[in-house]
Amino acid sequence: MDIRIKYNNIAGNNPNAKLNQKEQMLSFKAYMLSLVANSLQAQKKLIEAEYYHRESLKIYLGLGGKNSIRVARQIARLSSVVTEQGRFEEGNILAQYSLKSYIEAGLPDKALNVISSKKAVASTLVNIEKYSEALNYFTAIKSTINSDEFLKKYFGELGDLDEVVALIFTKNFQKAETVAQSIFENEKSKVGSNHPRTVLAQAFYAVTLQEQKKIEEAKKNFKEAIPSLIEQIRNDSETSNISKKSQRRFSLIADMVFW
């Protein structure tokens, strides 16, 4: 593809047409590199995924400058793979920059990309233990969604386990219970009671109950969740598929749930 870009003569002698053709091919190359990166990231080949995300970002920066939507989106992807490696400070910086790029590119607060970007920033703030700041983002996101009928239908009942973690550490256990229970029930209805997402949500729900001294209810939910949760941890550990973030979540559950 590099050779085709360099020696492309499809557009004849028209320099503007040649430039447009070159930009299109570079854009396609950046897109393909990003797809490769996404595939590698899904396979937990995080170092390789980061490399391809960075290569894609370099091309997009050359094509559209730092404040384009494509650049913002690619920085968000890079933030995700960096965060999965446990480089939480760097992941937060990249997530913040991605949000800044979306805003400077002219997208409004109600744009889906901006909402998703704010959600990513909130999650990275939880990773670096800035829980109050994270909760400010979660509150702003929900306020934006609730102000628009389309967004309410699009996102439905927005819940995030990172919000639950932030609420636990700021000792707002009652709200943490409400959010965790909502996530648990939504996941159970969508993917079933034995799905890893459902099990993890139920375990966090048990944590919130335990912190409010609702011992019997906490025991019941933890007893239902723990066998599948342990199996999930074991399988992920054996295949090296467990991320640093998942490790921290499992440790939190182990430390805080009544045994």
Comparing 206 with 22, the larger pLDDT belongs to 206
Is the confidence at residue 233, as pLDDT, over 80? no
Q: Give the pLDDT mean for 84-106.
A: 95
pLDDT in tens, 202-232: 999 999 999 999 999 999 999 999 888 888 7
DSSP state of 242: -
Task: Name the domain count of the chain.
Answer: 1
Is the confidence at residue 30, as pLDDT, over 70? yes
The boundaries of the domain holding residue 225 are 159-259
Does any domain span residue 80? no
Burial code of 7-41, b = ≥16 C-beta within 10 A, e = fewer? eeeeeeeeeeeeeebbeebbeebbeebbebbbebb
Does any domain span residue 211? yes
Classify 7 as helix, strand or coil: coil
Is the confidence at residue 34, as pLDDT, over 70? yes
pLDDT in tens, 54-85: 999 999 999 877 778 999 999 999 999 999 99
Does any domain span residue 233? yes
Is the confidence at residue 193, as pLDDT, over 50? yes
pTM reported for the whole predicted model: 0.84
Does any domain span residue 203? yes
